[in-house]
Amino acid sequence: MSPGGRFCEDVAESRMAFADSDVATSTGDVRTSPFRKAAPGLLGIPGMPSNHNVHDLLECPVCMNLMCPPIHQCPNGHTLCSSCKVRVHNCCPTCRNELGNIRCLALEKVAESLDLPCRYQIYGCQDIFPYYSKLKHEKICKYRPYNCPYAGADCSVTGDIQLLMMHLKNDHKVDMHDGCTFNHRYVKSNPQEVDNATWMLTIFNCFGRQFCLHFEAFHIGTAPVYMAFLRFMGDDDEAKQFTYSLEVSGSGRKLIWQGIPRSIRDSHRKVRDSQDGLIIPRNLALFFSGGNRQELKLKVAGRIWKEH
């Protein structure tokens, strides 16, 4: 049989496998379902709740997310999303058969006909979208989880702000303080070891919101520097409601920075590499430290206020 003939046979099998599944219910059930539309011609099991059946059919068995076209299936009719097809190395996670390139066209048609809730509904988003609009929305949904702002390790934890606060306190042992003004001392016995990328993170509760104060050592080109900057635990539009200042002084010298905190939607590295903060060259930092310049002793004062 020609390759084209085989593809048609695969599609026919796909449609048959889908038609044999428990897809939907009576018309009345469809009207009350959160999935407001249903593909015509696929209703035929009176009394069964269509919303659960359609949701189950579109749920990828690997990542548990709703599948979007292209939707793949194995010769036995087991489906999964295109992202997971790569992750399982073209092997069906249900029956272990080779997946090949069979598309479940019938299920793709159903997916395209539905209005679906945002995947971040559990975090508070109550919006419902046509299928492809849903995918675009989820990339910018304000309820999507945040990445852990801890910079000292590659931490994969994500969640809402409350979960991340508990995670930072319990798992990363981050210091947390209340108040909108602060004074912190940073001491390092050997300031020449900038290559160690010394960093610190402190959380401040201020105006009922949380802010991350970062301090670290790194290089700009070949020049060793120290940098302090603030990130806001929330979205960028909220971060712009606040302003902060940082000041380092000592030995008759003073350096002041004022700016807007960056949202933790921007990674720690992105903010650092953009140099959006108080940058102190190492030689100047040693002047601030006083003494014999063999030990770093920096005192960083700061204030956070809300713009009206």
pLDDT digits (tens, 9 = 90+) for 217-265: 888 888 889 999 999 999 999 999 999 999 998 888 899 999 999 999 9
Question: Which pair of structure tokens corresponds to residue 230?
Answer: 């603030």
Residue 27 CA to residue 45 CA, distance in Å, equals 10
How much is the pLDDT for 296? Answer: 80
Quote the pLDDT of residue 216: 86
Is 26's pLDDT higher than 70? no
**More confident site: 208 or 69:** 208
- Find out whether 26 and 90 touch, Cβ atoms under 8 Å: no
> If you average pLDDT over residues 281-295, what whole number do you get?
79
Q: Average pLDDT, stretch 270-299? A: 85
- Label the pairing between strands 175-178 and 181-188: unpaired
pLDDT of 297 higher than 70? yes
Determine the residue type at 207.
Answer: F
Domains of the chain, start order = 54-139 (3.30.40.10), 166-306 (2.60.210.10)
Beta-carbon neighbour count of residue 225 at 10 Å? Answer: 19
Mean pLDDT, to the nearest integer, of 168-172? 94
Q: Which two tokens stand for residue 267?
A: 């990674």
pLDDT band at 95 (very low <50, low <70, confident <90, very high): very high
Please state which of the ranges 11-25, 115-129, 233-247 shows the lowest mean pLDDT.
Answer: 11-25
Q: What is each CA distance from 231 to 137, 143, 207, 228, 303, in whole angstroms?
A: 24, 18, 15, 10, 13
Give whichever of 35-39, 122-126, 175-179, 191-195 has the largest mean pLDDT.
Answer: 175-179
Residue 155 has pLDDT above 70, yes or no: yes
pTM of the predicted protein model? 0.68
3-state helix, strand, coil in the chain (%, to 5): 30, 30, 40
- In this prediction, residue 14 carries a pLDDT of 37
Tell me what the pLDDT averaged over the chain comes to: 80
Bigger pLDDT: 156 or 66? 156
Choice among 57-71, 218-232, 264-278 with the minimum mean pLDDT: 57-71
Q: How many residues does the chain have?
A: 308
How far is it, in rounded angstroms, from Cα 236 to Cα 242? 10
Kindly give, in sequence order, each residue whose CB lies less than 8 Å from that of residue 137, ignoring residues fewer than 6 positions away. 118, 127, 129
- Predicted pLDDT at 234: 95
Please say if the pLDDT value at position 300 is more than 60.
Answer: yes
| Structure confidence at residue 191 as a pLDDT band (50, 70, 90) | low
CA pair distance 64, 81, nearest whole angstrom: 10
CA dist 83 to 78, 127, 140, Å? 15, 25, 20
Question: Residue 198: pLDDT band by 50, 70, 90 thresholds?
Answer: low
Higher local confidence (pLDDT), 232 or 114: 232
Comparing 170-179, 264-273, 285-294, the range with the smallest average pLDDT is 285-294
Query: For residue 291, what pLDDT is reported?
Result: 64
User: Using one digit for the tens of pLDDT, what is the confidence trace for 129-141?
Assistant: 887 788 889 999 9
